[in-house]
Amino acid sequence: MKALSNSTVIPKEKLTAYQRWELHTFDQPAGQSPAPQSSAPAAAAAPTAAEAEAAKIRKVHQMAYEAGRADGLREGAARGSVEAQHFAAMLDGMRRHTLDSNVQLADELLGMALAIAQQMVRQSLGIHPQDVIPVVQEALARVLQPAAQATITLHPDDAALVREQLADTLAAGGWRVIEDATITRGGCRLNTLASELDATVERRWQRITTALGQDTPWLK
């Protein structure tokens, strides 16, 4: 590679006109301003009155649409809420009606069952008169011993059975049997100076029906 000092340098005065002009474009004298740039694009033309009015109308229409849409949504939501409340009230009414119907049906079925049970008890007492014995034994067990002036009131037919089968128990407790035809068979009434125990059929039946929430009297 040749040394830089030996490179050929063309004097400025020997350059051709084209070369000199081209060089001048890069060797611009100090203080000389560059060529003026092309002017900026012309500003967009201002809209006409008709265009401005059309844009204003479009904006008004858009605002009216948005307002109408919002009002429609609010109205729809309110209507949906009212309908939902009506539907809930209807369901609640149906539920209450169903519950009332079920309760009424249950009461009717229970009343029918009690009526059937009453007939069965009456028939059982007629067929098995000795059923009075466990009733009397339970009643005697509820009264404190010894009992002063103790009496047990029974239907005459039941009194004969009790005297026969519970003679020792009655004698041990000092019980005196009293016959009363108004006492329904299968029941009794105990009296002492300190207490009274109603074990009649009517009273026992009342306790059962009351516990079941019914008021079904015993029919003789």
The b-or-e profile of 4-30 (16+ CB within 10 A means b, else e) is eeeeeeeeeeeeeeeeeeeeeeeeeee
CATH number for position 148: 3.30.2320.30
Domain count, the chain: 2
Separation between Cα atoms, residue 219 and residue 56, nearest integer Å: 94
**Residue 193: which residues within 8 A CB-CB, separation 6 or more?**
147, 148, 149
pLDDT of 198 reads 93
Q: Residue 146 sits in which domain range? A: 129-211
State which of 96, 127, 158 marks the end of a domain: 127
Residues 133 and 206 in one domain: yes
In this structure, the answer to whether residues 174 and 119 fall within a common structural domain is no
Q: Does residue 1 lie in a domain region? A: no
Instruction: Decide if 97 is inside a domain.
Output: yes
Asked if residue 43 has pLDDT above 80, the reply is no
For the ranges 12-16, 84-88, 201-205, the maximum mean pLDDT occurs at 201-205
Specify the pLDDT at position 53. Answer: 75
Mean pLDDT of the region 64-85: 71
Residues 122 and 137 in one domain: no
Q: Which has more pLDDT, 137 or 6? A: 137
Cα distance between residue 42 and residue 190, in whole Å: 126
- Name, of 72-81, 100-109, 136-145, the range with top average pLDDT: 136-145
Regarding whether 188 and 164 lie in a shared domain, the answer is yes
Selection from 38-42, 88-92, 157-161 with the highest mean pLDDT: 157-161
Residue 18 lies in a domain: no
Domain-ending residue, one of 71, 103, 127: 127
Model confidence at 4: pLDDT above 80: no
pLDDT at 3: 47
The per-residue pLDDT for 183 is 94
136 with 203, same domain?
Answer: yes
SS3 189: strand
Last residue of one domain, picked from the residues 107, 127, 147: 127
pLDDT above 60: residue 23: no
The set of residues, in sequence order, having a beta carbon less than 8 Å from that of 219 and lying 6+ positions away, is 118
Q: Does residue 20 sit within a domain?
A: no
